[in-house]
Amino acid sequence: MSRDWLGDMINRDEKLKGMGKPLSREVLEGNVLDRTIKNAGYVPQWIAIQQDVRDRLGKIILLLETPSETDQLNQEIAEINILVKKYNSLCPTPMQKMLISLDQAKSQIKSWE
């Protein structure tokens, strides 16, 4: 390999898939970074927390329909509220949510969907 590594790369006769063909409209439109992040499967932390809160609220609603101890429910609500506070610190300001209360859990799950 010579010192001109870029020249060596250009001079290779490798044929790449799609070489010499025009780029598709998809590739040319939109934000390249956003598309790359989405294709890589990256999920921002605040969205992961949002999904976790939604799943936990669903479990609480199921527990509310069955006879269960309120201490256990209150402890679960407290843990969810810790996640809500973390979510609020990470998400964009217009997307911040209220803390969860046991009385309002059924109506509050709609805002987490």
**Domain chopping of the chain, boundaries:** 45-112
**What is the chain's Cα-based Rg?**
25
Q: What is the predicted pLDDT for the residue at 50?
A: 93
Q: What is the predicted pLDDT for the residue at 33?
A: 83
Distance CA 104, CA 23 (A): 52
Beta-carbon count within 10 A of 57 CB: 22
Q: What is the predicted pLDDT for the residue at 4?
A: 78
Sequential pLDDT tens for the chain (113 residues): 567 777 777 777 667 777 778 888 877 787 888 888 888 888 899 999 999 999 999 888 888 887 777 788 889 999 999 999 999 999 999 999 999 888 888 888 888 88
pTM recorded for the entire structure: 0.66
Q: What is the predicted pLDDT for the residue at 88?
A: 94
Q: What is the predicted pLDDT for the residue at 84?
A: 94
Nearest 5°: the CA angle 3, 9, 11 is 100
